[in-house]
Chains A and B, each alone.
Chain A
Amino acid sequence: MDAPETPKNYLTADYSIKSWLLTVDHKRIAVLYLVSITAMFLLGSAFAAGIRLELLTPRGDLFTSDTYNKLFTMHGIVMVFFFLIPSIPAVLGNFLVPIMIGARDLAFPKINLLSWYIYVIGATFAMFAMITGGVDTGWTFYTPYSSWVSHTNVTATAIGIFITGFSSILTGLNFIVTIHRMRAPGLTWFRMPLFIWAHYATSLVMVLGTPVIAITVALVGLERIFHLGIFNPQMGGDPILFQHLFWFYSHPAVYIMILPSMGVISELITCFSRKSIFGYSFVAISSLAIAFLGFIVWGHHMFTTGQSVYTGMIFSILSFAVAIPSAVKTFNWTATLYRGSLSFEAPMVYALCYLGLFTIGGLTGLFLATLGTDVHVHDTYFVVAHFHYIMVGGAILGYLGGLHFWWPKITGKMYPDGIARTAAIIVFIGFNLTFFPQFVLGYMGMPRRYHFYVDEFQVLNVLSTAGAGILGVGYLLPMFYFVWSLIYGKKAPANPWGATGLEWTTPSPPPTDNFAQTPVVTEDAYSYENLPVPTRASAV
């Protein structure tokens, strides 16, 4: 409506399609990621809906076993490799890392664009594999099933994941160099926002871990094509070798999903409590500790493979070690609320819901690190529930909370806060109803990846499916009001939440160059005591 007078920002700088597809602006690339990742999320959710509908009855009467197996496999692959891993780093990280450290762009803008193209090509390959027959190995691709038994499109999918891995590596590399080299004057390491610390730790995992999964899926592909026998015991290969390689990446990959969301939550909790985070350096260092420890606990996925008792014990004790920094973060977030000035706009509601889900997810991890109980619940719905609480509860609520927090910055528009808060609560209720019964199901003994199940598991499965319906509503609502806000939303001020951080010193949306002049940082992060307390941000 007031378009003519609007100064140029990164969105209005140029409207042509070409200007988007060839952009090297990290903010536009973040938007490209936002659109493509949302598409993948919708696809993965559709698969999930199919799975939950099928499990309403124990009889497997909706799909054939073959279709069902492909559904849960593709749900896992799409959600893990094409949504959860890139979600926060590629969207929020891409948009915010340069702005939060006072830089004009990432260190390698063209490589950043390249990483988006690689992502799209990888996703296209995987989609191709799904359209032309699907994959039925489970997202874990365990050999020898994946390497010489399954007759589905394992190779094409493996190529898709292999390609996408480079996108992750390039993003991580770009962040590491940017954070090292391009911080504004005065922005020392221990003045950096925790979001940046989290992305730094995540990037280390991406750069060090992703090559391993790339090699692993490449080996599976090569074994299928050339019958090498690396994982085939009939040819002297070792089927367990695959699991070591796979989890060496895929356990740290959980931290690729969760660390960035921890960074987001730290930002949200301080902002809406108007307080510096409790124990800043503990929270910052715990990100690095989690990233490091994450690399040495992979064997806890393999307690029932028949590895030696002592190997099991080592991986068990290391897994407990990784629980400590996670617990510390949770205590720090809670302590930050103490004697704060708390307001409950939508991002804060998401953050508090995150605390709930992350706590449950983290604590149930103890049941899996404990050898005696892991044997019983391994490969059951207990595990399914646990990793959904952590990876989905944690990563998605962090992602949604962050999206709500920075949406005014990204788009220049406010969304209706009331409905957004309601959506957060619907997600929280739906999530718990979906996944909490699965802990019970798992302890009852229902194995994961079951198309048919015994009758006594039905009641809990029906509850879970009902929860999934509610969760679906909670996920769809933001899509509607975010799109609505683009057209009808009130114009966002530069700093709608009264937050600290360099990103709030630029206009919303920021100009292409982010800052007219390179900012100089003179205080620690989260110096809320120096800011006036805003009245409730009046959205819409």
Chain B
Amino acid sequence: MIKGLPLFPEQASTVAGQVDALYFFLIAVSGFFALLIAAAVVIFAIVYRRRATDTAPRPVHGSTALELTWSLIPFGIAMVMFFWGASVYFTMKYPPDNAIPIWVTGKQWMWKLQHQTGRREINELHVPVGRPVLLTMTSEDVIHSFYVPAFRVKQDVLPGRYTTLWFEATRTGRFHLFCAEYCGTQHSRMIGSIVVMEPAAYQQWLATSPTAAATGGGAAAADGGGKSMAAQGEALFGQLGCGACHQAAGGALGPSLVGVFGSEVPLEDGSTVTADANFLRKSILEPQAQIVKGFQPIMPTFKGQVTEEQIQQIIEYIKSLKATADNGQGQG
């Protein structure tokens, strides 16, 4: 319905309509109050303009009832905005379980993306229409921000940790992808596109060999032609000698990684932590920071030995290590 209006962005995700509805509500409320005040000022300016025969106006010192009224009414309206806004925010923040995972690395000044199948892209992200997509993102250098106006979503991309963003595209087409956090000289050139495809076309696109697609960055050599991210992670796991300690059976120097992804892990200090991507990444780079209960702090850091994208591959591999192989999707 909005499409025909000029000066309004395209609406191309499930959340976009919710954001726009809230936006129109806010415009209606703001418009009402702005006009109310403007009208009052203009009318008073005309009606009560000073006349030659003026006597001093009768002072009106105030009215507590009126003050309370015009404090409480805005307060009530503000609470409606707050709860409505928070509920849309909840929708934006909690992805559905069946979202397709995609990994994003921001870097001055490009977006690097990896699909589970191992296919990689730069500044262009292909996704299917009508399927939720979950991005797990980090930065190699400064703070960036992943922003797709047509989807009404935005998430800062931070060095040193993962943030996530999900969306479900509702229309096929090509949409702007901007970097919204100032990141240096070429900030405004750090733009790309989201290409939303029909599911069949997307499957076909995914199946294309990643070596045929544009790859770049320092880690290009690690691209095993046509190998999935998990398979590439497995290869790295072997090369780096991780298996020497992290044996599947457990009882070795390090904890077993089978089924660890997403589980609650007890730590030496008595607390527990969810073994999500952030925890795994940190355990690879700063293994002494959080020690799993029952193990010695003997793991060396792998800082400098793996790129951000390789860490993502290793995490994908760890994710795939499940006692029951129910993670069929994307396995090569």
Contacts and interface: CB of A to CB of B under 8 A. Distances in A.
A303 B86 CA distance: 11
Choose among B147, B152, B154 the residue with the greatest number of A CB atoms under 10 Å from its CB: B154
A378 interface: yes
A149 B81 contact: no
Interface string B153-193: 11110111101000000000000101111111111110100
A375 B57 contact: no
Nearest to B157: A306
Interface string B28-41: 01100110011011
Contacts, number: 280
Given A324-B75, A363-B33, A371-B85, A145 B183 contact: yes
B180 A233 contact: no
B8 A304 contact: no
A338 B45 CA distance: 9
A149 B184 contact: yes
B22 A239 contact: no
B79 interface: yes
B89 A371 contact: yes
Interface string A512-540: 00000000000000011101110110000
A234 B93 contact: no
Contact of B40 (A240, A337, A366, A372): A337
A202 B228 CA distance: 59
A370 B22 contact: yes
A312 B94 CA distance: 14
B49 A343 contact: yes
B185 A373 contact: no
Interface residues of A, number: 97
Given A278-B61, A447-B178, A327 B70 contact: yes
Given A337-B40, A445-B176, A342 B85 contact: no
B326 interface: no
A535 B54 CA distance: 9
Given A149-B142, A274-B57, A379-B147, A309 B89 contact: yes
Interface in A200-254: 233-234, 236, 238-240
B143 A145 contact: yes
Given A149-B141, A328-B70, A373-B22, A305 B158 contact: yes
A461 to B, nearest CB: 13
Interface in A286-327: 303-306, 309, 312-313, 316-317, 320-321, 323-324, 327
B42 to A, nearest CB: 9
Contact of A449 (B40, B75, B82, B188): B188
Interface string A453-467: 110000010000000
B32 to A, nearest CB: 10
Interface stretch (A91-99, A111-119, A353-361, A418-426): A353-361
A158 B186 CA distance: 23
Interface string B77-94: 011011011111110110
Given A316-B85, A452-B188, A239 B160 contact: yes
A10 interface: no
B56 interface: yes
B142 A144 contact: yes
Contacts of A364: 30
B93 A309 contact: yes
Contacts of B181: 142, 379
A372 B182 contact: no
B276 to A, nearest CB: 13
A239 B145 contact: no
A66 interface: yes
Contacts of A306: 155-156, 158, 161, 163
Nearest to A372: B88
Given A274-B57, A330-B37, A342-B45, A145 B184 contact: yes
B100 to A, nearest CB: 21
A355 B38 CA distance: 8
Nearest to A334: B40
B34 A342 contact: no
A189 interface: no
Contacts of A149: 108, 141-142, 184
B282 to A, nearest CB: 10
Contact of B160 (A234, A312, A460): A234
A128 interface: no
A339 interface: yes
A136 B184 contact: yes
B143 A239 contact: yes
Interface in A131-149: 136-138, 140, 142, 144-145, 149
B41 A355 contact: yes
A281 B66 CA distance: 14
Contacts of B141: 144, 149
A276 B180 contact: no
Contacts of B41: 334, 337, 352, 355-356
B67 interface: yes
Given A320-B82, A366-B81, A339 B58 contact: yes
A328 B56 contact: no
B74 interface: yes
Interface string A477-500: 000000000000000000000000
22 contacts: A137-B182, A140-B182, A145-B183, A233-B161, A239-B143, A239-B158, A239-B159, A275-B57, A304-B156, A316-B85, A316-B86, A337-B44, A339-B58, A341-B51, A342-B45, A342-B49, A376-B19, A376-B152, A447-B180, A449-B188, A528-B56, A529-B59
Interface of A: 60, 65-66, 69, 136-138, 140, 142, 144-145, 149-150, 233-234, 236, 238-240, 273-276, 278-282, 303-306, 309, 312-313, 316-317, 320-321, 323-324, 327-328, 330-332, 334-335, 337-344, 352, 355-356, 359-360, 363-364, 366-367, 369-376, 378-380, 440, 443-445, 447-454, 460, 527-529, 531-533, 535-536
> Which 4 pairs, one residue from A and one from B, show the smallest C-beta to C-beta distance?
A233-B160, A445-B149, A372-B88, A370-B85
Interface of B: 7-9, 18-19, 22-23, 26, 29-30, 33-34, 37-38, 40-41, 44-45, 48-52, 54-63, 66-67, 70-71, 74-75, 78-79, 81-82, 84-90, 92-93, 108, 141-143, 145, 147, 149-150, 152-156, 158-161, 163, 176, 178-189, 191, 286
Given A328-B67, A342-B48, A448-B180, 14 more contacts: A138-B182, A305-B156, A306-B156, A320-B78, A332-B67, A341-B54, A370-B26, A372-B85, A372-B92, A375-B92, A378-B154, A379-B145, A527-B59, A533-B55
